[in-house]
Amino acid sequence: MPSPPADSAQPDQRPCVHKFGGSSLANAARMARVSSILRDAGEPAQLIVVSALQGVTNVLVALSEATDDPATMLADLLLRHLALAAASADAALRDWLQRDFDACAMLLAQARGAGCSKALHARIHGRGEIWSARCLQSRLCHDGRDCALLDARDVLTVHRHEMGAQVDWTRSQAAWSAWRAQNPQPHVVVTGFIARDASGADITLGRNGSDYSAAIFAVLSNARELTLWGDTDGMLSADPRLVGEAVSLPQLSYTEACELAYFGARVIHPQTLLPAMQRALPIRIRNSFNPAHPGTRIDHDRSSATAVKGLSAMLGMALLNLEGAGMLGVPGTAERVFGALRAAGISVSMISQGSSEHSICCVIRDADGAQARAALLHAFAAEIGDGRIQGVTLTRDIGVIAAVGEGMIGQPGVAARLLSGIARAQVSVRAIAQGASERSISVAVGAGDTTRALRAAHAAFLLSGQTLSIGIIGPGQIGTALLEQLRAAQSRLRHEHAIDLRVRAIADSRRQWLDAGSEMPADWRARVQSGAATDLAAFAAHVHPGHLPHAVIIDCSASDALADAYAGWLQAGIHVITPSKRAASGPLERWQSIRTAAASSGAQLRYEASVGAGLPVIQTLRDLIDTGDTLRAIDGVLSGTLSWLFNHYDGSRPFSALLREAHARGYTEPDPRDDLAGMDVARKLVILAREAGLALDIEQVAVQSLVPEALMRIERDRFMARLDELDTDMAARLAQAQRRGTRLRYLATLDAQGTATVGLREIADTHAAAHLRATDNLLQFSTRRYCDNPLVVQGPGAGPEVTAAGVFADLLRVAGNLRRNP
């Protein structure tokens, strides 16, 4: 584009150009707000470029192509504009609108009768801008502004080009200067979208052409700044319809804005930026519905605090691939591919070619797919016929995601971060392309995966919170405590740590509640009880929807059957967290398949709370082994219930009385025999053994139960009534220990060979478990490094609040790992 001549206006008199889109001008109230915005700007001179009222151009396009009488639709448009005239109390505008709508009806009749030429189409399609400009000028004058009206066709001359409408700058500048000399008012309302060609015929600048009009008039008038007013707070880091957490970008360079606009950001058209770039004209994108927001400034500044500024997505694409060994080392193949597509009038959005030259693929509009494939089949018919090229394949339903940012230049790891984030969202990348400028990376994915991939990439670059879709099964004591902890922390985590935890599903054994909201309601329990019957397949599908990149199911139940579902969830990319011991201590074959599913899919499996509630027992053992230490033995107290009982059992009260108190405090299971039988401790010991690399099954653990066999076979209520029958044996055990100067503790032990025992033991006063408090758990790890002085982990090991906190910590670890390794 040749540089347009500079305007002779003094710098302090240069106007500011404002463009308002159709949503900002939709009715009288919005026009009044536009008037207030312009007044509050306090600028001495303004050019105001306008689009048609919202929806008007679409109606005019439909009317120009209709074959029946358009009177009703045209009458509805007239009523909308007459309401604007009434709001301005402008009788002259009302009369003018009546006449001009009559003229439009005649144009439509002419189009139906003799056929619609391009110029006649343009005269009809551009009518909306003429009407809105006249209405806004009336409003501004009504509000006391000295305001002129410019029909852009009287100044702007353009000609059609394959790259879009091109401005005749010399002719347009002369016409603008002449018009301005005759119309010196400080404020001018200008019609967007419309112009004339060199012969004087009407022409339009294409959809979103009013933005381009505004940039052109900003250059013609040597404006200080161009502000494009729409309905978003500037350019956003992603399409908010696809990424609800998209954030407003305070600043972009011209090249960043161009890349984002090309790849689908609807806020600005790439063509709008070209005149501004040549004149270094600053552009602001602002929200007329929120004028207090500063929006986005676009200029030459290329400084960037982050590698990626934003992401865009294009849907409705297809992948065209030419492949064959006969292409290897043959010059001119790519030229023939793109020459054939150009001859067919097909635009290519993305190109990818392997260094082996074995294939060339490009992304095109899906609507052009069949024609593009036919063009390449024709161009390479000879090579396909003799087998040098295997063929041309067309893959439909493709979406393209582009990551854009000046900060990507020379920054290692950007592509890895993008691809890793998309991979963790279980999305396969079909093709990838990056230009030598390094300002953007584009990837092609399946159309159905586009939203999930976009959200995952957006979170990977910390442009929004790390969003996790969460489903919780088993809202018992632990589940309820967890839900309340999540609800209390949700807002803080989102605002302070950019972690967005969304509880979108809750289920018990009978009913489930599925919700799409981002905030968990306080009455979640009532919603579960009134929900549909529990359906685990529907539950998992809801937790793992296409538009959210990361999903977590938290199993707070004690159901062994649920553990059967873990492998499938993990294989589908759903992270699994549980305080239940059923999976990790269950059948070894099932546990190995669960671990294999997690490893192959990349989904995380967390079960820290299954052994030590809120204590880092499993993580400590993993750290020891992963750093090369050798385990020699584990021993300790692994039941908060039994810890509390024997910490308090000193003979002053019967054992049964202590047991009843523990049950009343909620320290025991609903049936205390589940604790006293020792199987809960045995399961925990199996989990630790397996973490240490030992193939131990529950049947291999020697377990001493504290419940006589006769009491194990009766109903729970009868057992509770006969608790006194435990006292005689327990009193004898205690008396013996006291005579020997020892203490009773229910211990779990494991040696390096896999010998595992669980039972009541007498320990010396020097043992680490001799001085536990309340419900403390304690684990001693004896290893090659910690042989003389074992490593001890100790702390509260029972209670729903503590266990829920352990599960919550696992959830935050999942979120943290996703952030570090998106």
Distance CA(329)–CA(352), nearest Å, equals 17
Q: Quick one: which H or E segment has residue 382?
A: helix 381-385
Residue 324 tokens read as 């064959």
pLDDT at 420: 82
For the segment 481-505, the average pLDDT, to the nearest whole number, is 88
> Can you say whether residue 12 is alpha, beta or left, with left for phi > 0 and alpha for psi between -120 and 50 degrees?
alpha
pLDDT at 305: 60
Average pLDDT of the chain to the nearest whole number? 89
Where does the pLDDT of residue 4 fall: very low under 50, low under 70, confident under 90, or very high at 90 and above? very low
Place of tokens 């676009």: 298
For the segment 305-314, the average pLDDT, to the nearest whole number, is 81
More confident residue, 65 or 571: 571
pTM of the complete model beyond 0.75: no
Task: Count other C-beta atoms under 10 Å from residue 594's C-beta.
Answer: 25
Q: Quick one: which H or E segment has residue 218?
A: helix 209-220
In order of their start, the domains of the chain are: 16-230 (3.40.1160.10), 310-462 (3.30.2130.10), 466-609+806-819 (3.40.50.720), 617-798 (3.30.360.10)
Of 136-145, 359-368, 648-657, 813-822, least confident by mean pLDDT is 813-822
Task: Count other C-beta atoms under 10 Å from residue 630's C-beta.
Answer: 12
- pLDDT tens-digit readout, 514-537: 987 767 788 888 999 999 999 999
For the segment 736-753, the average pLDDT, to the nearest whole number, is 94
Question: Which residues are the active-site residues?
Answer: 684
Residue 203 tokens read as 């022409």
Place of tokens 């033991």: 761
Residue 163 pLDDT more than 70? no
pLDDT at 1: 47
Cα 661–chain centre separation: 49
CA angle, corner 262, sides to 120 and 152, nearest 5? Answer: 35
Residue 326 CB burial class (10 angstroms; 0-12, 13-18, ≥19)? middle
Minimal CA–CA distance to 400: which of 319, 300, 499? 319
pLDDT at 164: 67
Task: Count other C-beta atoms under 10 Å from residue 599's C-beta.
Answer: 11
More confident residue, 538 or 461: 538
**What angle, 0 to 180 degrees and rounded to 10, lies between the N-to-C axes of helices 127-142 and 118-125?**
30
Residue 161 pLDDT more than 80? no
**What does the DSSP 8-state code read for residue 3?**
P
pLDDT at 8: 46
Task: Count other C-beta atoms under 10 Å from residue 619's C-beta.
Answer: 17
Where does the pLDDT of residue 406 fall: very low under 50, low under 70, confident under 90, or very high at 90 and above? confident
Task: Count other C-beta atoms under 10 Å from residue 385's C-beta.
Answer: 9
Residue 186 pLDDT more than 60? yes
Residue 204 tokens read as 């339009």
Distance CA(47)–CA(362), nearest Å, equals 42
pLDDT at 820: 65
Q: In Å, what is the CA distance from 239 to each residue of 23, 250, 516, 518, 769?
A: 18, 16, 19, 18, 58
More confident residue, 189 or 234: 189
- Side chain identity at 126, as an amino acid letter? G
pLDDT at 2: 45
Instruction: Report the SS3 class of residue 16.
Output: strand
Residue 6 pLDDT more than 50? no
Instruction: Report percent pLDDT > 90 for the chain.
Output: 62
Minimal CA–CA distance to 177: which of 4, 2, 3, 1? 4
Distance CA(109)–CA(70), nearest Å, equals 9
More confident residue, 344 or 162: 344
Do residues 440 and 523 touch, judged by C-beta distance below 8 A?
no
Where does the pLDDT of residue 9 fall: very low under 50, low under 70, confident under 90, or very high at 90 and above? very low
Where does the pLDDT of residue 585 fall: very low under 50, low under 70, confident under 90, or very high at 90 and above? very high
Residue 663 tokens read as 């049950």
Minimal CA–CA distance to 45: which of 11, 3, 4, 22? 11
pLDDT at 292: 94
- pLDDT tens-digit readout, 87-140: 999 999 999 999 999 999 999 888 876 666 788 889 999 999 999 999 999 999
Do residues 713 and 769 touch, judged by C-beta distance below 8 A?
no
Residue 359 tokens read as 């294939």
Where does the pLDDT of residue 261 fall: very low under 50, low under 70, confident under 90, or very high at 90 and above? confident
Give buried/exposed letters for 417-447 (b at 16+ CB in 10 A, else e).
Answer: bbbbbbbbbbbebbbebbeeebbbbbbbbbb
- Side chain identity at 646, as an amino acid letter? F
Instruction: Report percent pLDDT > 70 for the chain.
Output: 94
Place of tokens 């006769």: 710
- pLDDT tens-digit readout, 26-64: 999 999 999 999 999 999 999 999 999 999 999 998 888
- Side chain identity at 653, as an amino acid letter? R
Q: How many helices (H) and strands (E) does the chain have?
A: 32, 31
